A and B are shown apart, each in its own frame.
Chain A
């Protein structure tokens, strides 16, 4: 199975400041035939199901604010929130869908400093 790790486990950022979350896969999730990385990012707020933010490592889901961006390739990926808003307080998960089982990272909790 592909193991996903995230860092940090949690972070606190001032309103309007940048938040950066790292995600690493134990093997590449780059799909040569698609020329894409099979990596998604989700946001989960308490009591709610996860919400898809980013797929193919850098494609923003419709309706997601442009302060959310994804980057990276191969085994190393980053989710950036360019200017943290109060409503961004949540747990963020990465997920690989390169190979089954499609594994999730352990999550990163984002709070306001």
Chain B
């Protein structure tokens, strides 16, 4: 059974940094492209970015709000994917989901329950 468990969400102040994590199990993690999606309270879904597998170059793609501030990384030895967030803004307040699924991280058929990041002074 595929399981994705996010952790690390907390309350931080604007300008601070935070790393959230996602522990994966139940599938061949090293071959799988992983995605982060976020959802602000009461709002819609926003694709944050994805990381390819090592064999596909571990290339990362990001949405505009994440470029230059967020970094996705992975540790295949631990079946973990991370989202490092720097220079956090109040508008980054959201539930952060990790997800995976179709080929090349396309459609997303497995999601975690999310971890809540609150950015507030």
Contacts and interface: CB of A to CB of B under 8 A. Distances in A.
Contact of B46 (A38, A55, A97, A104): A104
B44 A107 contact: yes
B20 to A, nearest CB: 15
A8 B101 CA distance: 28
Majority-rule SS of A interface residues: loop
Contacts of A1: 63-64
A26 B58 CA distance: 29
A107 B45 contact: yes
Size range of the chain A interface in the assembly:
20 to 34
Given A49-B97, A107-B44, A97 B107 contact: yes
B56 to A, nearest CB: 14
Nearest to A38: B106
A72 interface: no
A13 B47 CA distance: 29
A101 interface: yes
Contacts of A103: 47, 63
Contact of B102 (A44, A51, A55): A55
Interface string B86-112: 000000000001010110011111011
Contacts of A61: 109
B61 A100 contact: yes
16 contacts: A40-B108, A42-B108, A49-B112, A52-B108, A55-B102, A55-B109, A91-B44, A93-B45, A95-B47, A95-B108, A97-B106, A101-B63, A104-B45, A104-B46, A106-B44, A107-B45
